[in-house]
Amino acid sequence: MAKHNLKIGLFGIGLDTYWPQFEGLEQRLTGYLLQVETHISTFGAEVLNLGLIDNAEKAFTAGHDFRKGDVDIIFLYVTTYALSATVLPVVRRAKVPVIILNLAPEKAIDYKQFNSLEDRTQMTGDWLAFCSACPVPEIANVFKRADIQFHQVTGVLNDNQTWKEIAEWVEAAKVAHILSHNTLGLMGGYYSGMLDIYSDLTLQCAVFGNHIEIIEPDELTALKQEVTNDELDTKRSEFESTFEIDVACGEFELNRAAKTAVALDKLVNRYNLGAMAYYHKGSTNSNGDTMSSIILGNSILTAKGIPVAGEYEVKNAQAMKIIDSFGAGGSFTEYYAMDFEDDVVLMGHDGPGHLAIAEGKIKVKPLQVYHGKVGSGLSVEMSVKYGPVTMLSVVESKGKIFLLIAEGESVAGPVLEIGNTNSRYRFPVGAVKFMESWNSYGPAHHCAVGVGHIANKLSKLAALLNIDAIKVC
C-alpha cells in the first residue's frame, strides 16, 4: 500500500496596500512566517508554505495550491491586519481544518522606545507588526458564516507554551491522518447479547475515515495449518524473551499459541491491518482451537502498534488505536470491581493486553476455562505502569460518535491474580464520582487505557474530526 505522509499547509496574511507605505514591514512579517515554518518542520511533517497572501488574487491561487498539495491541515499565521477576502478563498477550496495562529512577535510592545520614535509613519509600521489580534474576529466571523471549521492558538511567537499547544495540534493531526489510512480487521462476530458493543460500521468509517476488512476465522485457521517448524521456533523464542512463562504452561499449549501467533502475523500482512477486533463463539472444531489460542499473539501485535480488541468491540479497537497512535499504549479494559477502602477502581480484561505499557514482566498463565467463553489455554497477566493514565471510550449515541475521556493514576496495590490484565486506578474526583460521571454518558462497558495524561491531545483530535470530546476528570 502506498504510504501517505501528513502534510501541513501554512500561509501568512497581510495587506498589499501596506508594503509601499511602510518600508521593511513585508520583509519583517515574512521573517516571522519563516520562523513558524522552521519550527513546525521540526515536528516531523511535510510543510507546504505559500508565503504571505496579501490580496484576493493570491488567495484564489493559494486555495488551488493547497488542494493540489493534498494538505491535511492548514495553519493560518495572522501576521498583521488583513482583509478576510484574502483568507476565505484559500481555506474554502482547501476544505481541511484550519488553525488560526494569533501570535505576537514579543510579549509586549516596548512602549517607551516606540513612543520615542520621531517618524509617525515608522511608528505605524512597527505597530502593524504587532497587529496580529486585529483581524482575528473578522476572520472568525466569516468562517462561522461560511461553516468552516477553525481553531485558535493565541500567544507569543517564541514562547514555549505557544509551541507546546501547536505541537499538540500537529500530533492530533498526525493521529487523525493515521486513522484515516487505517485498515481495521473484524474477525468473527459479536458476543451475543452485549447490546452496548454493537456498532454502526458505516458511521465509524465516516467519522474516522478508516477501511474495515471483514475476515472469517477460517482464514486464520488455514494460515495456522501452514506454519513451518522454523516459524514456530522463532515465535517460541519471541515468547521466551517477551513473557515470564509460568512453569504450569505445557509445551502443547505454548506450541498451539505460537502457531496461532505466526498465523496472525501473516493475516496482518495480508490485509495490512492496523487494528483488529475479534470474537468467535467457538466449539471443539479447528476454528475453536485457533481462537482459544489467540491471546499471546494478539498481545504481541498490540504492543507493536496493531491493537487487538476482544469481544468484537469495534469502538474499543478504535479507541485503542487512537491512544496507541499518540504513543501512549492503549490496552483493552473494563470495570472489575471497586475498592471503597482505598478509593480505587479495579479495571482490566481477559485476552490481549498492551505489553509496552506493562508494570514489570508480563506473565503467561494457563487457564482451565475462559470465563464466559468457550475453550481454555494461555492468557496474559499484567498491570499498567504506575503513574498517570488516560481512559478513552469511543461512544456511539443517537447516530453520533464522541470521545469520552478521564485522567487518573495507576497505583500499586493488590490485584486479582487470575491470568488477566488488572490494575488499580485512582481518580482526582474519587472512585464513586468517576464511576457515576463516566457511566452517565452511556459508553460501552469497554474502554482503552494509556499511560500519561493526554486529554488535551484527545480533545484536539476530536476537534479535527468535528466530533465532541467530554472529559469527566
pLDDT at 416: 81
Mean pLDDT to the nearest integer, 232-261: 91
Look-up of cell digits 462497558: 445
Looking at every residue in the chain, the average pLDDT score rounds to 92
pLDDT at 177: 97
pLDDT at 425: 96
Pair 395, 401: CB distance under 8 Å: yes
Helices (H), 285-333: 286-291, 295-303, 314-325
Mean pLDDT to the nearest integer, 351-357: 84
Cα–Cα distance for residue pair 243/258, rounded to 1 Å: 13
Tell me how crowded residue 407 is: count the other CB atoms within 10 A of its CB: 19
Helices (H), 95-181: 111-115, 120-129, 136-145, 160-180
Instruction: Show the 3-state SS of 181-213.
Output: CCEEEEEECCCCCCHHHCCCHHHHHHHHCCEEE
Mean pLDDT to the nearest integer, 143-163: 96
Cα–Cα distance for residue pair 75/38, rounded to 1 Å: 13
pLDDT at 375: 61
In the chain, count H helices and then E strands. Answer: 17, 19
pLDDT at 284: 63
pLDDT at 283: 65
Domain 182-471 CATH (choose: 3.20.14, 3.30.450, 1.10.8, 1.10.357): 3.20.14
437-466: pLDDT as tens digits: 999 999 999 999 999 999 999 999 999 999
Cα–Cα distance for residue pair 311/308, rounded to 1 Å: 10
Cα–Cα distance for residue pair 371/43, rounded to 1 Å: 45
pLDDT at 374: 63
Tell the burial category of 295 from Cβ atoms under 10 Å away from its Cβ (0-12, 13-18, 19+). buried
**Which of 140-149, 339-348, 361-370 is least confident?**
361-370
Q: What is the CATH number of domain 7-179?
A: 3.40.50.10940
Cα–Cα distance for residue pair 272/212, rounded to 1 Å: 11
404, three cell numbers: 469520552
pLDDT at 129: 87
300-339: pLDDT as tens digits: 999 999 999 988 999 999 999 999 999 999 999 989 899 9
pLDDT at position 370 over 60: no
Mean pLDDT to the nearest integer, 394-409: 97
pLDDT at position 368 over 70: no
pLDDT at position 128 over 60: yes
Binned at pLDDT 50, 70 and 90, residue 367 comes out as: low
What three-state secondary structure class fits 10? strand
Comparing CA positions, the residue from 53, 2, 48 lying closest to residue 30 is 53
pLDDT at position 342 over 90: yes
Binned at pLDDT 50, 70 and 90, residue 141 comes out as: very high
Q: Indicate the pTM of the whole model.
A: 0.94
Delimiting residues of CATH 3.20.14 domain(s) in the chain? 182-471
Cα–Cα distance for residue pair 205/199, rounded to 1 Å: 11
pLDDT at position 194 over 70: yes
How far, rounded to the nearest angstrom, does the alpha carbon of residue 107 sit from its chain's CA centroid?
Answer: 33
Pair 63, 23: CB distance under 8 Å: no
110-119, long-range: CB < 8 A, 24+ apart: none
pLDDT at 352: 79
Cα–Cα distance for residue pair 377/359, rounded to 1 Å: 23
Comparing CA positions, the residue from 447, 421, 452 lying closest to residue 327 is 452
pLDDT at 287: 86
pLDDT at position 60 over 90: yes
pLDDT at 1: 47
Comparing CA positions, the residue from 345, 261, 263, 250 lying closest to residue 303 is 261
Greater model confidence, 284 or 70 = 70
Look-up of cell digits 512602549: 111
Delimiting residues of CATH 3.40.50.10940 domain(s) in the chain? 7-179
Look-up of cell digits 505454548: 254
